Every structure is written in C-alpha cells, then in structure tokens.
Structure 1
C-alpha cells in the first residue's frame, strides 16, 4: 500500500455485549485519519465540513457521537461512515439516498459485497445525471431554436463564441466528459496517458472557472459548448 494511503475497511463496531461486523466499501484515504477519539472540531476540519453539518448528519441517523466528559467525540467507525458520506455528497446524492445506502450496507457480509452495493448506487446516480443532461440538452436546443428564430427575424446573428476557447484536445476531451467517459476511458479513446488526461481536464475545469469535472460538464452544457 502506498505511503500515506489508508484503507478504512473492514470496521467492527461493538454494541453492548455483542460484537457486530459492519462492512463498508473499500474507500481509500490519502491522508492519515485522525486518531480516535476524534473531537467534533477535528472531525469537521479533517473532512472540510462545519460543526452544523456533522450535527445534521447525526439528526439524520448517519453519524453517532458519544460523550467523553463534556466533549462529543467520534470513533473509528464514524470516521469511515463520514468518509463514505463525503464521497456520496460530492457526486450529488441526497441524504435520503445515503440513508438507504447505509441500510443496505448493514446487510453486507463482506467488504466485496459492500463494494458491489456502493457500485450499484453510484451507477444509479450516473444514470440519473445522464438523464438530467439529456433533458438539459433538449431544453437548450429548444431555447437555441427560439433565439435563432428571433435573430433571423431581426437580422441579428449571434457570432459570439460559446464559452472560453479550448484547444482541439480539450474540446474532444470535454465532449467525452459530457458523454460520461471516465478519465481512463478518455485516455484510451484519445490515445493519451492518464496523467495527460488529468492535465487536460484540469485545464478545462480552470477555463470554465469550475470546482471539479462535474461542474465543468454542467457549465459546458449550459453554455452550449458541446454537441448532443
């Protein structure tokens, strides 16, 4: 295992006199997880969230803090749960979907089974996003048709470029990103190295003033920079 990389699986949680094995997907932390018990301030800082967010997840039954004197602290299993919550939230999953995911994970009898459960959930989210993109494409086509009609009647044609200028490679990469290609698949399609694709995607994200590849795709679609 590379230095600084920490698997969080499997997790064993003890409730009362009975030990119950809880298996989570095989997530990888690129930073060393904080040593337990973890105070709420340390937990919030490590995962880049607010205290209020942690309280919210507790209210929704996704996390559980325990008391240590006057402090509320988290244990090893809560670190693993929060890591998974972060992954899900980053791809736009709702809290209700994450709740359902945790309920299903409670039935997993191994890490491999937990991995499959998460994969199915992620695939469902990808299908949902693809459907949303399709709807956005259709609505943009309708808007463009209406605007083109108005411009034709008034004799005004919009010749302004759509979005920031991209290189040929960036444009091809962006189109594949919109179509749901992973970086590895993009590398194969464009005959590039994986690190080269990462650099191209980073440039696209920067030019579109986005936070990540998902936001870059959404902005590109809204700007009409990609073909259907």
Structure 2
C-alpha cells in the first residue's frame, strides 16, 4: 500500500471518472487491524464511524463503489483507502462537491508525490477558509460584546456560564477526548490516540455531546471552549 495502489478492485471502478483503478491516492494511515477484503459494509462503517446510509451516499456521488456478496455490500481495500481520504476531508469541513473535485484531480495524478501534493493543497485551501471564517466570527463576537446593555447583565451572564461549566462533570477519558477533538483529531486518529475501537469512541463522543446538550462533536467542542471547560 506504500505506493497508494491496491490489488483488489470492485467491478466497474474503471468506468467511473473518480474511481480509476490505477490512480494514486494520498498516503493516509489506515487501521493496523484492517479486515481482509472484501470488507463488509458493517466493518467499513465501523472503521470510519459513519452510517451505512453515509456510505451509500458516497457511492451515489461516485466517490466509492461496492459489490455484493448475496445481500451484503462489500468493499475493496482500495475503497477503504478512498474512504480514508473522504473522511479526513469531511472532518475538516470540506464539502462533498470539493471532495469530488479533489478526487478528479487525484485520478489524473501521475505519481504518489503528485497525489500527496494535491491533497496538501486542498488542506491548505481549507485552512485559509477556516482562518477567514474565524476572523469573521471573532469580529461578530466583538460586535455582540459591544451591544450588551449593562455591566450587570454581563456579570449575570458570566456567572450563569460559570455555573453551567461547573455543572458539567467530565471523566478523565471524556476530557482527554474533548481536548483532542478540539485539536482537530479525526475519528480514526482519535481512536488510536485513546486506545479505543471505533464503536467505543462513538459511545464516548455521544456521552460528551450529551453532557454539553450539543447536536454534534463540533458543537460540543465549541461549547466547551466557550464555557472555559477546555482551552482552544
């Protein structure tokens, strides 16, 4: 897998513009305990902490392809590697449309080095976008701060926030997980860092999200930073 190629391919890959068999992909680490191929959809979903429906969606967008053994969808190791690229992109907020463009560029890459450069360029572009968004958010937060009516209102809000933060009791694993999430760890990397399986990580993240009354991991991190539970 060092050169980005895989020996087993799902039938029909050659006919899809983003899935050419002999294309190169960025060198992204995969779990050491990768199941033998073909990889059942349940294992594929567990590796990346996604739902079956998410995998079906990526197939509809021609980003992945599968074949069937009886009623079960299965994937080649090559598709696992593609999913690793997709998953990293989604974790940093790259849109599906942009991922499609990235994969189209990777199809045309002539070497592993070129594929890695394409991926790094995409990450740099996303970093620039996030920097601009952060600047906008900071400016908006400052405007809100200036519009707050009285010092007493501010003191009351601060006290309420401190009280809310004190009400959130995190276990050591939850706090460590939250801190790594704030650093931008993707699920696969996060699971390895914490020594957890994908399913165990999903359970831990669900507990954290619930404690912050958040709708997802990103909102939980944002609330934790806002309340001073962790540092950004």
Calculate the TM-score normalised by the size of structure 2.
Answer: 0.63
Q: Give a deviation string over 1:78-129, Cα, whole Å, max 9, x none.
A: 1110111111111111111111110011111111111111111011111111
Higher helix share: 2
In the alignment, structure 1 residue 10 sits paired with structure 2 residue 9: no
How many residues are matched? 179
**1:47-196 mapped onto 2 (5 Å cutoff):** 47-147=48-148, 150-151=149-150, 156-158=153-155, 160=158
Provide the alpha-carbon RMSD of the alignment. Answer: 3.7
Higher strand share: 1
Structure 2: distance between partners of 1:60 and 1:20: 17
Structure 1: distance between partners of 2:143 and 2:45: 44
Is residue 106–residue 115 contact of structure 2 (8 Å, CA) maintained in 1? yes
Name the CA shift for 1:36/1:75 in 2 (closer, same or farther; >3 Å). Answer: same
Question: Which fold has the larger relative contact order, with Cα–Cα distance below 8 Å and residues 6 or more apart in sequence?
Answer: 2
Q: Which runs of 5+ in 1 are unaligned?
A: 1-5, 166-176, 184-194, 196-205
Structure 2: distance between partners of 1:144 and 1:122: 32
Deviation at 1:145, TM superposition (A): 0.3
Q: Give a deviation string over 1:13-41, Cα, whole Å, max 9, x none.
A: 5749xx95211101112432211111212
**1:24-35 mapped onto 2 (5 Å cutoff):** 24-35=25-36
Calculate the TM-score normalised by the size of structure 1.
Answer: 0.64
Is residue 151–residue 157 contact of structure 1 (8 Å, CA) maintained in 2? yes
